[in-house]
Structure 1
C-alpha cells in the first residue's frame, strides 16, 4: 500500500483541512503509486505562516553558532539516510541512481556549509567621520519567508533555500513541487530530528493556485524565493512586488555550448552530450544548443549521433545513463518539440521516438534526440524544451557563434570548448549568461559561489548559494553610535 504523507506545521505532521489527497506515481512505472499527499488549501497555508511568524523571534534570537549546530546535525542525519533518500528520489522523480545520490549528497553538503556560515552572519565595522563615535552594519533576518521549489532537483533546491534562510535566523514555509515531494519530507524529518524548534520551518503540499499563490500573497511573508519556469516565476515576482516583498526567481534556460576548431572533437562531444542528456535533459542548465564552427561541424555531428545512440535509457534504479521523464505531460512536451523541429526543417539525425516496449511499457521514456541543420530562429533553438533534445547550429566564425549564443531570451548557463585562450577570454567577457564555463559542461554547480541567470532566466535581483544566499535572506542595518 502507498504511504499517506502529511504536511509539517509547527513541529507536527498534520492532515490538510480539505481532507483531500493527490497521488505521486513512479515515472519508470506509472502503475506504482509512490505516495499520497495532502491537497492543501489556503487555510493550511495560513496555519503554516502563523506558526512561522510565532517562531521567528525565538529562532532569530538564537546565536548563530546555535542555529549552525542544528543545521550541522541536519546534515549528519540526512547523510545517515542517504541511501533511503536516494532511492526515494529515483522512484518519484526518475533520475538515475547515480544522479540521485549526487543530488542527495549535495543537500548534505549544503546544510554542512551553511551550518558553518551561520557563525559569520554579522556585519562590518567602518571608520566614523567624528571622534568618540562608532559606525557599523548589522545583518538581520528578513523575518518569515516563502520558498517554492521545482520537481527536477527536489531535495537539492529546497536545501539551498532552506539552509541559508534558517542559518540567518528566518523562519520559512516551503511548498515543494507536487510531482516529487517525498524527498522534501525526508529533509523535514531530518530537521525535526536535529532539534529544529517548532514552527521554524514548515512544509505544505498542494497546487500552485491553492498553496503557492496564498503563500506569496500573505501579508506576513517578508520574502519569496522561487525556482521554476519563466512564465510562473514572472507572475510570482509581480505578485510579490505588489507588497514590496523581497523576491528572487531563478527560471528557465536555453543554454549553449560553443565548439571551436581548436577543440578536440571527442572532448567536445563528451562535454555537450553529458550536459544535454544528463538528468534526461530536465535541468535548467542543460545544454540544449551546440553552436559548432563549420570547420568541425560535420565531424561533430557524426560523433554526437554516435554518442547519443550509445546512451542506455532505462529505469533509474538500474542506474542507466538516462532515466524517464518525470511525468506523462513532460514526455508529451518533448515529443511535441521533436515534431516541431522536423516541421521547421531541421534534420532529426537520431532519436526522438517514445520507447514503449518491454521495460519501457509503463514509463515515460524517449530516445535522446539530435537535430542538425538547425537555424538559430527555429523554435527548437529558441524555446526551453526540458528534455533530452540537442539542436546543433552551424557557425561561420567566433563572432557568429557568440552572436547566436546570445540571441535568445534566456541567459542562465553557457560554455565554450576551445584551446584558444583569446577565444575563451572573449567568450567569458561577452557571453550573456550568469554562469560561464570554459571546456566544461553547462550543468554542474559549486555550492559556495553565486548561482543565477541574466535576461528571462532570472529576476536579476539576488543570486542563490554561497554568500549570495546570505545576502538574500538578510537585511542590512547601518548603526551610528555617539559616545
Structure 2
C-alpha cells in the first residue's frame, strides 16, 4: 500500500489539515492506498502554483518542447504499463485486460497530443490591401480538471495531455473512489521533466476540494466528468466567476438493430460492449432498440453469450468484475427491482454471482432486461452497471423517437446493411458520436468526444480538444 501527498509546485506535500482518506479494492474491500485530503487552502495553493508556472515559465515554452515532454511522459507510462494496469484493476475493479487497454490508450493520448502540439494555428483574414488581420489561438491559462473514477488513468491522460499541449497549466483533482493511478501519473510527469507547478494534483472529496477548485476565481477553464446533478453544481460555481466549462455528464447510448443487420455479429459485440468497465461507462451501448421482426431471435443470440460470461476479481481477468462501491451496487440493484415492478423481465443475470468467495466484493451479474418500454425508468436513466435494456420498435421513425427519448445524447450505434437508412439515422439521432455498423472507431484518441443535450457540452479528444483548451484572439494591423 502506498501513501500519496498532494502534488503542488513539483513536490508531494501533506494536506494543510493533515488528514487522509483511503481507496478500496472493489473486489475485496481491502485498502489500496492512502491519500492526503485536500481542502480549500490546499486547492488555493495548487492554483497559485499553476498560475505562477504559467506566467513565469510554461506560456513561453515552445510547442515543440511541450510536445517533446509529452512524448517523454508517454514513454515512461509504456515502460511501466503492466504495473499500472494491475494497479488500475485493483483501484477501480476493472478487469485486467481492459485495464491494460486503458493504459495503452493513456500512452496514445500523450503520443497524439505530443505530436500535434505544433499543429495548432490561427488563420489570416483578407480584410483589405492595407490591413493584415489574423487570428491566433492562445491557452486559457490555468485549467481545473475534475475527473471520474471509471477510467481514472485514461481520463487523466486525456484531459491533461490536451491541456498541456495547448500551453495551459493544470490543477487536477483525482476521483475520490479511484485516485491511485492519477496520483502515480503525477509522479510520472514530474520525473519526465515538466517544470514545477505545470501539473498540480490534489486528492479529496467533491464537496471540499472539487467545490473549491470549480469556484476558484483564478481558474480560467473547468473540465468535469460525472453526473448531471454534480455537473450543474460545477457549472453554476464556475459561472459565478464567468469561467467556461467543458462538461461530460453521462449517457444512455442506444443501439438500433434493423432486421437486415448481421445479428450474430451485433449480438456478440453488444454483449461485450454493455459490460465494458463492468457497465460503468457513459458511452457504452446500454439500450438495445431492436426491430420487432428479429427481436426474439436477437435476444436469444445475445443471452446465450451473456450467460457464458465469467464474474470475478479483476486480477483473474474475467468478463465482468466488481462495481466501484457498495453504494453503486445498491443503486444498480434498485434499478433492477424497479424495472421488474414496472413490467420488465429478466432473461439473463439479475442478481449477485453465486461464487462463495465473491461475497466480500461489490458484484452484480451481467443482466439483460426485455419487455422494457420507453416510459420505464431503466429505459431513460443511466444505470451505470452491467445491465442492458431491450426495447422493441416497428418503424424507422419509432426507432429514432426511442433513441432520442432520453435526456442524454452522448453516443449511439446503428446496425443495418441499408446504407441510405443508416446515414439517415446518423443525421436524425441526437448524439455527439454516432457509429454506423461498428461500436468503435479503432482509435478513439483521434476522434472528438462529447455530448448533446444533458450529456454536456464541449469536446475532449482529437484535434478538437486543442481548440477546447485554447481561445481565439484576433490581431489587426494597418500596414501603412
What TM-score, normalized to structure 2?
Answer: 0.97
- Provide closer, same or farther for how the CA distance between residues 53 and 447 of structure 1 changes in structure 2, counting only shifts above 3 A: same
Does residue 470 (structure 1) correspond to residue 469 (structure 2)? The answer is no
Is the Cα contact below 8 Å between 1:127 and 1:134 reproduced in 2? yes
Q: Which residue of 1 aligns with 2:335?
A: 337
Q: 1:365 and 1:440 mapped to 2: Cα distance? A: 29
Is the Cα contact below 8 Å between 1:353 and 1:366 reproduced in 2? yes
Is the Cα contact below 8 Å between 2:311 and 2:353 reproduced in 1? no
Q: CA deviation at 1:443?
A: 9.3
Aligned residues: 478
Q: 2:385 and 2:421 mapped to 1: Cα distance? A: 30
Q: 2:163 and 2:88 mapped to 1: Cα distance? A: 23
Q: 2:391 and 2:101 mapped to 1: Cα distance? A: 31
Q: Which residue of 2 aligns with 1:481?
A: 477
Q: Matched residue of 2:374: which SS?
A: coil
Of 417, 425, 439, the residue aligned with 2:437 is 439
How do residues 370-389 of structure 1 correspond to structure 2 at under 5 angstroms?
Answer: 370-389=368-387
Q: CA deviation at 1:439?
A: 1.6
Query: Which shows bigger deviation, 201-210 or 122-131?
Result: 122-131
Q: Which residue of 2 aligns with 1:402?
A: 400
Is the Cα contact below 8 Å between 2:53 and 2:197 reproduced in 1? yes
Does residue 106 (structure 1) correspond to residue 105 (structure 2)? The answer is yes
Q: CA deviation at 1:408?
A: 0.8
Q: CA deviation at 1:19?
A: 1.2
Q: Which residue of 2 aligns with 1:219?
A: 217
How do residues 250-265 of structure 1 correspond to structure 2 at under 5 angstroms?
Answer: 250-265=248-263
Q: 1:75 and 1:319 mapped to 2: Cα distance? A: 25
Measured against aligned partners, the alpha-carbon deviations of 1:416-474 in whole angstroms (never above 9, x if no partner) come to: 1111112211111101111101122279761112111111001x3x2111121111111
Does residue 143 (structure 1) correspond to residue 141 (structure 2)? The answer is yes
Measured against aligned partners, the alpha-carbon deviations of 1:17-70 in whole angstroms (never above 9, x if no partner) come to: 11111111111111x210111121101101101101111021011111011111
Q: Which residue of 2 aligns with 1:274?
A: 272
Q: 1:373 and 1:36 mapped to 2: Cα distance? A: 45
Q: Which sections of structure 2, spanning at least 5 residues, go unmatched?
A: none
Q: Which residue of 2 aligns with 1:4?
A: 3
Q: Matched residue of 2:335: which SS?
A: helix
Is the Cα contact below 8 Å between 2:141 and 2:168 reproduced in 1? yes
Q: Which sections of structure 1, spanning at least 5 residues, go unmatched?
A: none
Is the Cα contact below 8 Å between 1:45 and 1:214 reproduced in 2? yes
Q: Which residue of 2 aligns with 1:169?
A: 167
Q: CA deviation at 1:143?
A: 0.9
What TM-score, normalized to structure 1?
Answer: 0.97
Q: Which residue of 1 aligns with 2:414?
A: 416
Is the Cα contact below 8 Å between 2:414 and 2:437 reproduced in 1? yes
Q: Matched residue of 1:366: which SS?
A: coil
How do residues 264-303 of structure 1 correspond to structure 2 at under 5 angstroms?
Answer: 264-303=262-301
- Provide closer, same or farther for how the CA distance between residues 272 and 28 of structure 1 changes in structure 2, counting only shifts above 3 A: same
Q: 1:87 and 1:443 mapped to 2: Cα distance? A: 26
Q: Which residue of 2 aligns with 1:228?
A: 226
Is the Cα contact below 8 Å between 2:51 and 2:142 reproduced in 1? yes
Is the Cα contact below 8 Å between 1:356 and 1:365 reproduced in 2? no
Q: 1:468 and 1:423 mapped to 2: Cα distance? A: 28
Q: CA deviation at 1:127?
A: 2.5
Is the Cα contact below 8 Å between 1:449 and 1:465 reproduced in 2? yes
